């Protein structure tokens, strides 16, 4: 998920935008529709007034129809049609009101005025894209069709909503289109990190991503030049050093005094060891091809490391099952284990090392001795050693750390009950 955080953020922003716009338009649609219904419903007051006068004056139905026709209102007389409309129509709004009437009455005391109050209900109905007004009273009812009015239409709002929806969607497509070069650039960077030094970042785009890609291309060219110069320098240096070391070793054997012969032999052996360690460092730091990684039994690698260290096998306790396998570069991983054995032989109290797998499945090297005086980071720096008198250049743990990093592992250290425990984690 973290690798696609930008894409997920954009998708989230798009979703939130579309949902927000949809919610706003939906609320606007409901409000606009209600306002439209409320506005046209006011027409019922005109109908109610005409109908009230008709009831008060007891005028003919022809007169009522004539008064309604002025406002393009027509009474539905057909009983079947009227029933069908009342049953299938949708109620838009309904409201009750009172009709007040006054009439002269005669009794034994003479003429008097009688006031009457009639409860009426006005309903606005929609049926087959037409608007109807239905007026009910306790004694009568009438269904009136309005020729002018039509039900509320959502097409305008739908049109604007569709336009906004399309614009937001197109914006997302354009953003994704702009991000495609960034995705390709990330893949190229990954290939470059995996050792493809000839991959090109160059692009013709002139936007911000194109500028970054072109700057990366310039940086790649500079890094490749530096790496080539470094590799050439180290190889030439090691080649040029081996010749005088070999000559010096031969000349040393011609010395007559044994003491001087042993001293110079020790010097040239140390120089030869240093050149070999430099060669290993150059190989580890330039390792980018994992095709040389193969599956081996861990006990076979440890056996090879013991042979390289040239130590007594009784001084190395191997407590590892033959079923344990690792996917590594055999030569480099063997060298790392060999250096751990050498380290234990030099600095442990009893020159004994125990190699085992801990409960986490990590390779451990245990030896008795004093706790490290400095943090582990101090010892994995090149040319750093605990005791300057020891026959070492201080590259052992540095090499181990570099080899482990090339294999996706790290070197860790623990001290418990007088035991130093180095871990390939």
- Would you list the DSSP string of 176-193? HHHHHHHHHHHHHHHHHH
Please say whether the beta carbons of 268 and 247 come within 8 A: no
Biggest distance spanned by C-alpha atoms of the chain:
169
Q: Is residue 72 part of a domain?
A: yes
For residues 78 and 59, membership in a common domain is answered with: yes
Q: Show the domain range for 162.
A: 2-39+155-180
For residues 76 and 93, membership in a common domain is answered with: yes
What is the distance between the alpha carbons of residues 127 and 149, in angstroms, rounded to a whole number? 12
**SS3 assignment, position 139:** coil
Instruction: Tell me, rounded to whole angstroms, the distance of Cα 169 from its chain centroid.
Output: 20
Q: Is residue 269 part of a domain?
A: yes
For residues 58 and 167, membership in a common domain is answered with: no
Picking from 263, 281, 299, the residue at the C-terminal end of a domain is 281
For residues 95 and 216, membership in a common domain is answered with: no
Q: Which of 307, 305, 309 is nearest to 333 (CA)?
A: 305
Please say whether the beta carbons of 200 and 217 come within 8 A: yes
Residue-wise pLDDT for 91-139, tens only, equals 888 877 665 555 555 555 655 455 555 577 888 888 888 888 888 877 7
The pLDDT, as a whole number, for residue 391 is 46
Q: Which of 380, 389, 397 is nearest to 344 (CA)?
A: 397
What is the distance between the alpha carbons of residues 401 and 399, in angstroms, rounded to a whole number? 5
Q: Is residue 194 part of a domain?
A: no
Q: Is residue 190 part of a domain?
A: no
The pLDDT, as a whole number, for residue 250 is 78
Strand partners, 100: 117
For residues 123 and 221, membership in a common domain is answered with: no
For residues 175 and 116, membership in a common domain is answered with: no
Q: Is residue 189 part of a domain?
A: no
Picking from 281, 314, 330, the residue at the C-terminal end of a domain is 281
For residues 33 and 168, membership in a common domain is answered with: yes
The pLDDT, as a whole number, for residue 395 is 64
Look at the block and give the residue holding tokens 């419903």.
41
Phi-psi bin for 399: left (phi > 0), alpha (psi -120 to 50), beta? alpha
Please say whether the beta carbons of 296 and 289 come within 8 A: no
For residues 307 and 414, membership in a common domain is answered with: yes
Please say whether the beta carbons of 21 and 161 come within 8 A: yes
Q: Is residue 369 part of a domain?
A: yes
Q: Is residue 338 part of a domain?
A: yes
Please say whether the beta carbons of 414 and 397 come within 8 A: no
For residues 396 and 297, membership in a common domain is answered with: yes
The pLDDT, as a whole number, for residue 388 is 46
How many structural domains does the chain have?
Answer: 4
Angle at CA of residue 109, ends 107 and 114, nearest 5°:
55
For residues 66 and 113, membership in a common domain is answered with: yes
For residues 404 and 355, membership in a common domain is answered with: yes
The pLDDT, as a whole number, for residue 133 is 85
Strand partners, 127: 130
- pLDDT digits (tens), the chain, 425 positions: 555 666 777 788 888 888 888 888 888 888 888 888 777 777 767 777 777 777 666 667 777 778 777 777 888 888 888 888 888 888 888 877 665 555 555 555 655 455 555 577 888 888 888 888 888 877 778 888 887 777 777 788 888 888 988 888 888 888 888 777 877 887 888 877 776 777 888 887 777 778 888 888 888 888 878 877 777 776 776 666 677 777 777 777 777 777 777 777 777 776 776 677 666 666 666 655 555 678 889 999 888 888 877 788 888 888 888 888 888 888 888 888 888 888 888 878 888 899 998 888 889 999 888 888 888 888 777 655 555 444 444 567 878 888 888 888 888 888 888 888 898 88
Q: Is residue 201 part of a domain?
A: no
Q: Are strands 411-416 and 419-424 parallel, antiparallel or unpaired?
A: antiparallel
What is the model's pTM? 0.47
For residues 24 and 131, membership in a common domain is answered with: no
């Amino acid at each position: 998920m973290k690798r696609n955080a930008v894409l997920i953020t954009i998708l989230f922003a798009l979703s939130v935008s579309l949902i927000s716009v949809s919610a706003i338009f939906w609320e606007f649609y409901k409000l606009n529709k209600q306002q439209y219904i409320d506005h046209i419903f006011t027409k019922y007051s005109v109908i109610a007034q005409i109908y009230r006068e008709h009831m008060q004056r007891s005028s003919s139905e022809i007169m009522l129809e004539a008064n309604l026709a002025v406002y393009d209102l027509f009474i539905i007389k057909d009983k079947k049609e009227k029933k069908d409309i009342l049953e299938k129509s949708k109620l838009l709004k309904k409201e009750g009101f009172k009709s007040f009437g006054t009439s002269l009455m005669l009794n034994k005391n003479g003429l008097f005025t009688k006031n009457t109050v009639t409860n009426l209900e006005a309903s606005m109905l929609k049926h087959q894209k037409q608007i109807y007004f239905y007026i009910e009273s306790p004694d009568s009812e009438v269904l009136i069709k309005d020729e002018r009015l039509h039900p509320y239409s959502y097409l305008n709002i739908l049109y604007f909503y569709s336009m906004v929806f399309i614009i937001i969607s197109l914006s997302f497509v354009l953003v994704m289109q702009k991000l495609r070069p960034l995705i390709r650039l990330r893949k190229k960077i990954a290939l470059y990190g995996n050792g493809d030094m000839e991959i090109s970042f160059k692009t013709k785009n002139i936007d911000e991503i194109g500028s970054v890609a072109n700057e990366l291309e310039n940086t790649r060219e500079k890094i490749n030049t530096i790496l080539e110069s470094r590799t050439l320098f180290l190889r030439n240096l090691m080649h040029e050093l081996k010749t005088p070391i070999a000559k010096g070793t031969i000349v040393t054997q011609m010395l007559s005094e044994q003491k001087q012969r042993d001293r110079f032999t020790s010097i040239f052996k140390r120089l030869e060891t240093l050149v070999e360690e430099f060669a290993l460092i150059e190989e580890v730091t330039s390792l980018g091809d994992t095709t040389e990684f193969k599956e081996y039994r861990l006990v076979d690698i440890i056996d090879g490391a013991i042979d390289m260290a040239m130590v007594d096998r009784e001084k190395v306790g191997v407590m590892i099952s033959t079923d344990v396998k690792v996917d590594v570069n055999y030569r480099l991983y063997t060298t790392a284990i060999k250096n751990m054995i050498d380290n234990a032989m030099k600095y442990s109290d009893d020159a004994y090392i125990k190699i085992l797998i801990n409960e986490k499945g990590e390779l451990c090297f245990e030896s008795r001795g004093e706790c490290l005086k400095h943090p582990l980071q101090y010892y994995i720096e090149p040319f750093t050693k605990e005791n300057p008198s020891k026959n070492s250049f201080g590259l052992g743990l540095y090499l181990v750390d570099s080899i482990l990093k090339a294999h996706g592992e790290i070197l860790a250290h623990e001290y418990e009950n007088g035991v130093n425990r180095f871990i390939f984690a």
